[in-house]
Structure 1
């Protein structure tokens, strides 16, 4: 909602409060002001000029030489290229020394040999958006009414000496979709009164019922319909002040009748529609549901095919408007319109919303009906429109209205106690303070022993329960004035559970390792649902899937991550490293909700790192991904309980896949995709992993123990063991750690040899063992004793021999 500061002053006294100060107060009371637009910012020196003479420029076909009176001692010559400039016009002139938007300074100049002392301006050149300029002035300069004073401030006449507040309204605050609604809000904030416009309608002797009858066949959709007739109107431009206010609110002026209906919409929040009475085709209005496939050409020139869910205004036979959304072209007010039928009605918000959505039509009227209007302003708005049409379109208002009223518009009555208010807000307000706030809001409130019974005006349809009243008290009291207190109770709210903290630790570690988090669909195809799954069950299919690609609940995260890799590869992103934590869904049988289990999966392809200046490149391989997981398990305190064993999984490379175990039980897998899988997906060499995250994060972990930094030197011994080629290096490493004793601190594999001079079926695996004692310097005897135990153990268990 765009709110003109000058216009708002018509309804509430804003003396002593600037637009920026008002914006701050409104924001602090609960409605965010997203910005304050100073409409004349950076503009000066623009006055009303009178074109005394106009003639063709002697040296240019598209330029005019004008003699313009700008209120100075002598008229000035101005060269103008606007096609609509002419003698006798009152125009906006930027004089020499003036500044226009964009810091464009006006200087004396010569155009094709003729002197120009200023510039005749269009509205766009004065900073008004082109879409808000009336059609007749979109291709040229703006022309003021003949009574405009020469030399007067043009910005003031155009309403540009103003500031516009942009309110970011939430759906519940539809009361502030009108100037009067905003005035009530501001008056409550400033503790001032609201001044409504005086509505005095001079009526002719004829009765409106002689001109029109109204019948509503869909009372639930349209409980209130009010019709007024204004005859003998003269179509022309609306007053300049009204055009300025409409443009400030983001609405383009059309003509006096249409502009008045838009003005009332902004003033009262009540959408109106003006029909050309003589083009209606009958003397009756029938409101009904549309017939299926019925046609209506709306004001935008588009033919609409209607359905029975949509409400239409008809002349008894054919539609003339889509109720609450847009009028029909067949009854549009045009330049030759003489008699006008004013429609002011209350339409059901849901019905309007569905019609607006179905036709892709979003209008100022539909936005207000959808959120709810004040039914007690419907008649008032019709009278105000009739009054303005009589005043600015020389119309005669026919006496009375024609109505259908089945509406029960009773105000809500809500109770709340002072004790309850203070309990929720943590304040110590007295009853008189609460009553003062309700009075500022213009809510009728009766107190009985600390309990208020509040009658809420119909303009505030958002207030229905006691919590709504508490909110009103809080924001008018001032959120900044509510005391700050510490939480009390057995537990302080907001703390992460141990599981949540560990899950966050996993995400931070992986992102710190260079992987990006992905979020993929939980729905997939029947074929992909069980691919790469750690455990499978019968697939779970949606009853009404949107598409076959999203029809089955997933049992693995990996297929979706591979789709993400494929998507990025197709866009020249060859190096991709991503992970996801999310749920998979395992069936528990027909009629039972599926079991959700959280998984961690990742996919990595391309270059792991590249330093072009140094000529270094590192391509992703199995050990890069395995190293990422080892670091993760270390961070979780599981490194001693994790083991990697050769594994086989459909879709994975048979020689480059490992099963990951935790305490001897399968936790997940890591490895390279099978070449056939890569070819089917159109991917290059890609490595993936998937883990049972919940199990990894819920196992008991020993508390962290800290050790002093060693003060004494360590000793390293290397051994190369010849074993059968089927023996895994990890098995040997685990045995070495078990028998190495307290002196053995690190065991690392540093070499593998299976070449010449090695017996067939044998391999050489070399380990580096580091020993140290935190209490004293090690002796050769101590190390030899521990090392001998290691050698004896591996010889006994693996038939290993030292390589000579």
Structure 2
């Protein structure tokens, strides 16, 4: 929001320097982004009126202008847009223009020119703020400028503009009057509201026009006034100057008045050519299917039934709150004006503006919220100015369709609550005085009953009033104190603690965490060699994907890990040892998809070597050891590993299903060579994926204390020969079951194949530890246990003792 300082001074008696006022506004919560000095870069440029124009005797493209610039001057120009009676900017002899250019008396083919007629570019002006006709020639000044007057004054350039950065809730400050109220409240200066009521003449408006609202949910109020007999022409200098300083281009007196009042009061207006309205009717309605309108910018736009339009008896004549239509545009031939001052639904205007790709000063204000009670005053003010500046006659009365009335807002304010929240000791009378500065009505002694004016739609609760008191009192005057209450300790849910424990365990095992996208593409599943009926092929599809590679939700964490591994390998960042703990997505019909938590990891390459140890390959057993360390750290017990060929993306014979009892936890294995080729990994890689929530159900969350044993243990070794296809886990299971309560621990310490072990067999050597907590075992008891184990192995697995 641009606030010209001289315009602001029309309504509030402020004498502070602009920079100081900017600081005060910022400290009061109304941030001033910048203070822009409009002082021009030219000197000795004055207003002049062209009296006569004659052709140059020796040049077809030049003319001689006799100009009244406070004194008679002869000027030669080649500008195409000069005409007699025109008010122009004249650079006198000795004038200095932007860029350091100096103007001197010059002779053009025998004719003396005593100065120069200036264009907007030559004066260093923003050409977007001048009329299209003046962009290719000299600039035209307002017709009421006095010959010889300083052109900088006429153009409103001897001013300063405060550029405000408003928060969305302060829609009231999207107006000069709104800012003036703030300045008055901050400085204590009196405020002067502009006169609004016009003089009226002629027949009543109610017999000349009608207004109907058929969409009361989108238009709460519509006010119309009629001004007859206007003369379209340029606006006076002061009005053009204010508009340019505020960043708007002057167009003509009627349109400039509507823009002026929008900036002054914050109420967008629209002026219709009354004579072009079919039936002299205004109908506020939703657009019909396929209905079209050509807007003021000359573009034909297709409407839809969600958009609100202003229509006459035959067709739409404006897109409500966004832009008017070309069919009822104010032109030089216009003589009668119907003024629109309405209140439209902000959300509707925002949707319409975005769909049409049209954003305007009016739509911005409606989106943030316009004063519902301010529409009549804005229409009256516009009618008054059109009578004064365009010679119109205002029809008595106004049409005011008020279909959705505003309910008064009264807020209870407790003085003790204010001091508690702010840490102050303000007297209730001080609080009342501060609120009354903002024109809030305060009743009672405590608690106060505060009535909020309609233009302050941001004040809805007690805390809003506390903020108003704080900013007017001065944030810098509020004492700095530490919070008096103890902060509560952060508490995590058990599921959150288990998730964090998984990250800590994986990191402690040497894996680095990665976070990958939840979106993947179907190609990622093709790379895993998944058949069409594989469960992972049933995915949750995204309705509006950004691209094909992110069109489905991941059913597994493995595709993301493969992508990270491939990116690292392509940059020669090896070895790779990564993990991710995240959710996958399982379709559940019409219900919300399931989102189970998974822990997955991938390793590739070799471990770094040291001075006393060699490098080791990160193979199946390396990753299995990582998982065993994670399970051990988190006390997930009774985990078993079963060889499996059920995973098409894993190497046959180098894959396992991870179980705890009969419950499947996940998989572990070396990736299939075809998968490695598809994702372009340069070396063998192994991966695992666990159902982390299932693992959490099996974990011993609270550690159990086990005292040191009081009685000695007995250690025995057992080496057995079994068929080569017998898993070591099966042998260990039989040993554990046959050993019973005497057997405390079992560990495999040797695997051997070769002579003298028979061909097709292997030797497995185990270390067994026997111990009881309440007494010392005898040799006879240990020997009996060993014999039971040997018999069980022979009977169930066909094992024999290694000789």
Residue 6 of structure 1 corresponds to 6
Secondary structure at 1:245 match in 2: helix
What CA distance in whole angstroms lies between the structure 1 residues aligned with 2:401 and 2:154? 42
Tell me the residue number matched to 2:172: 175
- Match for residue 101 of structure 2 among 86, 100, 106: 106
The alignment's TM-score, normalised by the length of structure 1, stands at 0.69
Q: Distance in 1 between matches of 2:72 and 2:695?
A: 90
CA separation of 1:124 and 1:186: change in aligned 2, threshold 3 A: farther
Instruction: Say which SS state the counterpart of residue 192 (structure 1) adopts.
Output: coil
CA distance in 1, matches of 2:332, 2:42: 36
Partner in structure 2 of residue 26 of structure 1:
25
Residues 111 and 93 of structure 1: CA distance in aligned 2, closer, same or farther (over 3 Å): closer
Deviations 1:540-597 (A, max 9, x none): 747x83359667543434435767899x99xx9998999976433467x779866655
Note the residue ranges of structure 2 that are not aligned, 5 or more in a row. 606-616, 704-723, 726-758, 761-803
1:461 alignment partner, one of 449, 452, 457: 457
User: How far is the alpha carbon of 1:367 from its aligned partner?
Assistant: 2.1
Q: Deviations over 1:169-220 (max 9, x none)?
A: 2322211121112222222222333211112412113221232122223333
Tell me if the contact between 1:349 and 1:369 (Cα under 8 Å) persists in the aligned partners: yes
Aligned residue number for residue 546 of structure 1: 544
What does 1:491-640 correspond to in 2, within 5 Å?
491=487, 521=519, 527=525, 541=540, 545-546=543-544, 553-560=553-560, 582-585=582-585, 596=595
Tell me by how many angstroms 1:304 deviates.
2.8
In structure 2, distance between residues paired with 1:694 and 1:62: 87
What is the correspondence of 1:370-769 to structure 2 with a 5 Å cutoff?
Answer: 370-448=367-445, 450-491=446-487, 521=519, 527=525, 541=540, 545-546=543-544, 553-560=553-560, 582-585=582-585, 596=595, 654=651, 676-677=674-675, 680=678
Structure 1 match to 2:310: 313
Taking structure 1 as reference, are residues 521 and 209 closer, same or farther at Cα in structure 2, changes over 3 Å only?
same
Partner residue in 2 for 1:610:
none
Quick one: structure 1 residues 458 and 504, their matched pair in 2 at CA, closer, same or farther if it must change by over 3 Å? farther
Question: What is the TM-score when the length of structure 2 is the normalising length?
Answer: 0.69
Q: How many Å separate the matches in 2 of 1:116 and 1:29?
A: 55
Question: Quick check: 1:91 aligned with 2:89?
Answer: yes
1:270 lines up with 2:242 in the alignment: no
- Residues 726-763 of structure 1: CA deviation (Å, up to 9, x unaligned): 9xxxxxxxxxxxxxxxxxxxxxxxxxxxxxxxxx99xx
Correspondence for 1:219 among 216, 221, 245 = 216
Match of 1:45 in 2: 43
Change in 2 beyond 3 A, CA 1:94/1:5:
farther
Change (3 A) 1:76 1:302: closer
Contact 2:75 2:117 (8 Å CA) reproduced: no
- Whether the 8 Å contact between 1:540 and 1:552 is mirrored in structure 2 is yes
User: Residues 153-192 of structure 1 correspond to what in structure 2 (within 5 A)?
Assistant: 153-192=150-189
* SS of aligned partner of 1:341: strand
Deviations along 1:496-544, one digit per CA (max 9) or x if unpaired, are 999699799989x99xx99996655489899589999xx98896747x8
Q: Counterpart in 1 of 2:766?
A: none
The answer to whether the 8 A contact 2:38-2:161 is kept is: no
C-alpha distance in 2 between matches for 1:259 and 1:364 = 13
Going from structure 1 to structure 2, the CA distance change for 1:116 and 1:216 (only over 3 Å counts) comes to same
Q: Which secondary structure does the structure 2 equivalent of 1:159 belong to?
A: coil
Q: Cα 1:147–1:31, aligned 2, differ >3 Å: closer, same or farther?
A: closer
Alignment counterpart, residue 34 of structure 2, candidates 26, 33, 36: 36
RMSD: 6.2
Distance, in Å, in 1 between the alignment partners of 2:156 and 2:422 is 43
Contact kept? 1:94, 1:106, Cα under 8 Å: no
Quickly say closer, same or farther: Cα 1:24–1:492, change in 2 above 3 A. farther
Aligned partner of 1:238 in structure 2 is 235
- Cα distance in structure 2, aligned partners of 1:172 and 1:387: 31
Task: Identify if the C-alpha distance between structure 1 residues 692 and 432 changes in structure 2 by more than 3 Å, giving closer, same or farther.
Answer: farther
Pair 1:467–1:490, CA change in 2 (3 A): closer
Q: Deviations over 1:98-157 (max 9, x none)?
A: 352xxx221469999989998654334545433333222222331213443455432232
- Listed as ranges, the matches of 1:327-342 within 5 Å are 327-342=324-339
TM-aligned CA distance change 1:501 to 1:41, over 3 Å: farther
Secondary structure of the 1:282 match is helix
* SS of 2:201 mapped into structure 1: strand
Q: Quick check: 258-267 or 182-191, which moved more?
A: 182-191
Whole-Å separation in 1 of the counterparts to 2:526 and 2:602: 16
**Higher mean C-alpha deviation, range 300-309 or range 204-213:** 300-309
Aligned length: 702
- Aligned counterpart for 1:325 among listed residues 307, 311, 322: 322
Task: Give 5+ residue unaligned stretches, structure 1.
Answer: 607-620, 703-724, 727-759, 762-804
Q: Return closer, same or farther for 1:355/1:669 CA change in 2, 3 Å cut-off.
A: same
Between the aligned partners of 2:499 and 2:554, the Cα distance in structure 1 is: 26
Q: C-alpha distance in 1, partners of 2:522/2:431?
A: 56
CA contact (8 A) 1:311 1:322 kept: yes
| TM superposition shift of 1:418 | 0.9
Deviation at 1:417, TM superposition (A): 0.5
Please tell me whether the aligned partners of residues 36 and 163 of structure 1 are also in contact (alpha carbons under 8 angstroms): no
Post-superposition offset of 1:385: 0.5
Aligned match of 2:721: none
Partners of 2:558 and 2:344 in 1: CA distance: 51
1:264 Cα deviation after fit: 1.1
Task: Supply the distance in 2 between the matched residues of 1:31 and 1:660 (Cα, whole angstroms).
Answer: 64
Residue among 123, 140, 144 paired with 2:141: 144
Query: Is residue 47–residue 150 contact of structure 1 (8 Å, CA) maintained in 2?
Result: no
For 2:15, the equivalent position in structure 1 comes to: 15
Would you say the 8 A contact 2:267–2:375 is kept in 1?
yes
* Cα displacement string for residues 648-693 of structure 1 (whole angstroms, at most 9, x for unaligned residues): 9957674999999999999999999756446656888897887889
Q: Distance in 2 between matches of 1:62 and 1:659?
A: 93
Distance 1:39 1:54 in 2: 37
Partner Cα distance (2:290, 2:73) in 1: 64
Question: By how many angstroms is 1:77 displaced?
Answer: 7.0
